Amino acid sequence: MHRKKTTVAFLVPLFIFLLHSPTINCLEAPMHVNISPNITASPIFTPNYHNDFNPNITNNVYSFSYAIGTKIRDISLVWIQQIKELATEENYIIIKQLMKEMLWEHRYAITTGVLLSSYGTTNILLITDYYYLNNDSRWSRWKLKHSFEQLCAISQKDLAQELLLTIGERYYNEKNPIDLTHPLLRFITTIDTEIRVIKRYIAITKMIKKLRLFTIFSTSDDKINNAQQLLERALFVKHIFLSWLSEYNLTSSR
């Protein structure tokens, strides 16, 4: 019994001490955390740029071209100077005599070459023009089922309307179908080219006929007559168009 009293007498002061202890007060009171970091800002790094980079760039292409040009100029000047020195009256007479002798010596070969070249060129031109004119898309062959007399008998107004419809169908502008100027310009260019080719074909064939060379060239009287008829029709078609254009301009200006 005495021991229990002693124990109680010891625990009571201990309990009072603990109640007033900082540790207990810290547990009961709310914690106030005061964070005041002491941060020392680092100095701002400012790079120091030095624009001292001056590359030495050499344009090798330009230098090479300039060197070639200079070399060609020097060579040309040397040649010109030599030509001036050699261009004397005596040298001119010598060269002229040499050319005469050379032409006379090779006269048969030169004449044969010129004749063969002329023949080949003329024959190729005749064949090309002939097939060009016999293409059904040519305006000189427009309404070919009608003879020229029948074509002239049709009303010019009706012919003009049909011609304009055909021009629009052939040459309409695919990117801008409502563009009316494009087909007309294309027609004028095409018909002029066609007339020029027909006239050239007739002129060449008439010269061949005059020289009586029909046997060695691919042409004949029938082809000449056909070309003349096509020329007549092409000129008539162009006349129909120009008549309509004049009337249209006159009506528009009123």
Q: With cut-offs at 50, 70 and 90, classify the pLDDT of residue 38.
A: very low
pLDDT of the residue at 8: 44
- 152 shares its domain with 96: no
Residues 98 and 135 in one domain: no
233: confidence class by pLDDT, cuts 50, 70, 90: very high
User: Rounded to an integer, what distance in angstroms lies between the CA atom of residue 144 and that of residue 119?
Assistant: 33
At 46 the pLDDT is: 46
Confidence grade of residue 60 (pLDDT, cut at 50, 70, 90)? low
In a domain, 37, yes or no: no
228: in domain: yes
Residues 64 and 175 both lie in one domain? no
Residues 191 and 132 in one domain: yes
Burial of 168 (0-12, 13-18, 19+ CB in 10 A): middle
Last residue of a domain, one of 51, 70, 105: 105
User: How many H-runs (helices) and E-runs (strands) does the chain carry?
Assistant: 9, 0
> Tell me, what DSSP letter sits at residue 141?
G
Nearest to 123 by CA among 30, 214, 45, 221: 214
What is the rounded average pLDDT for all residues in the chain?
A: 77
Domain match, 223 and 157 both: yes
Asked if 80 and 189 sit in the same domain, the reply is: no
Number of domains the chain is built from: 2
Q: State which of 71, 105, 139 marks the end of a domain.
A: 105
* Nearest alpha carbon to residue 200 among 126, 143, 134, 140: 126
3-state class of 142 per DSSP? coil
Q: How far apart are CA 140 and CA 130, in angstroms?
A: 13
* CA 151 to the chain's CA centroid: 42
- Tell whether the model's pLDDT for residue 105 goes beyond 70: yes
Domain membership of residue 65 (yes or no) is yes
Select the more confidently predicted residue: 155 or 85: 155
Is residue 230 within 8 A of residue 141, CB to CB? The reply is: yes
- For residue 18, is pLDDT > 50? no
pLDDT (average), residues 21-25 = 46
Most confidently predicted of 3-7, 51-55, 119-123: 119-123
Q: What is the mean pLDDT of residues 108-135?
A: 89
Residue 79 structural domain: 60-105
% of the chain exceeding 90 in pLDDT: 31
The residue from 48, 80, 105 where one domain ends is 105
> Does residue 153 lie within any of the structural domains?
yes
Confidence (pLDDT) at 176: 81
Confirm whether 51 is domain-assigned. Answer: no
| Same domain membership, residue 210 and residue 174 | yes
Does residue 204 share a domain with residue 140?
yes
If asked whether residues 143 and 179 sit together in one domain, one would say yes
Question: Do residues 67 and 97 both lie within one domain?
Answer: yes
Are 196 and 139 within 8 A, CB to CB? Answer: no
